[in-house]
Structures are given as structure tokens and as C-alpha cells.
Amino acid sequence: MTTPPVSFELAKLLKGKGFSWECSQFYCKTKNNKKFYLTTGTEYESDRDCIWDWNLNGGKSGTLTKTIPYPNDTNAIYYSAPTISDVVMWLYEKHKIWIGVICDVGNDLLFTFKIYSTKIGEERCIGNGIMYESPIEAYEAPIKYTLNNLL
């Protein structure tokens, strides 16, 4: 699930739970915008898309950038918009939680999930999901559950 980025709702939850990884997309709202929009930052020198920790609101340089990327409005509100795979790896590396999605190829193509604790000595399944019609739904549901209930 390297595309698309997570929903705005999950991006807000992730920032609140300390998600601090560099990514290319983010949700932004400036004083001129009535609502948040999804966009990509641009490096000044090369005019290319950049990778940045947008949750820091321009407070830290990314590994691929030397100057603060555009947009760099200090009054704007930013939420990093990582991919689902970025979030799954962040949960695993930082919180020792693994989310796995399983495809059921019965009469209908449906997806479900399992949430596992991977802490040494505590390895076990800590959550099971219902059936979803898309893999994106089947990943976003356990991510939302984990952020709201397990962290």
C-alpha cells in the first residue's frame, strides 16, 4: 500500500500520537483556505517533490532537502500524509504492533485484518477485523483502532 496516502482523519490522529516520519504528501490549511487540501511540497532549488516531516511544520530539514520546502507558511497547519505502508512500518518499529491484512477469495473478494503485538514475551494477536470490500479500508480500520485504543 504505497499509494494513496492515509485519509485526513488518520493523518490528524497520527500527528496527535507522535508520528514523525518524512513523507512527500501532506494536508495543509492556510488562512486563505476554508478546508484542508492534499498536496506535495517542492524544493526551491530543484523544483522537485521533496520528502519532509510535515508534522513539524517546517521545523526540521528532511534528508533530501537543504532548505525549507514550499509551502513554508509558518501560520499554516500541516499534517503529514504518509502511505499506509509507512504507517504500518511506523507502528511496528516504534510501538511493536503489526497489522496484517488477509484476502478472502471465496464468493466475494473481501479483506479482513489482524493486529499483533510483537513485543518480546508478549507476542500474540490483539485484534481481529470484520470483512471489508477494499484493502485500503481493511488497513485503515485497524490503524484507526490502534491509534485510538492501543497507543
Give me the pLDDT at residue 61, please: 47
| Judgement on whether residues 97 and 125 belong to the same structural domain of the protein | yes
Give me the pLDDT at residue 2, please: 61
Give me the pLDDT at residue 65, please: 43
| Judgement on whether residues 74 and 112 belong to the same structural domain of the protein | no
Kindly state whether residue 62 falls inside one of the protein's structural domains: yes
Give the total number of structural domains in the chain.
2
Give Cα separations from 78 to 13, 35, 51, 57, 96 (angstroms): 13, 12, 14, 6, 27
Give me the pLDDT at residue 75, please: 76
Give me the pLDDT at residue 54, please: 84
- Residue ranges of the chain whose pLDDT lies below 50: 59-66
Domain that holds residue 39: 20-81
| Judgement on whether residues 64 and 99 belong to the same structural domain of the protein | no
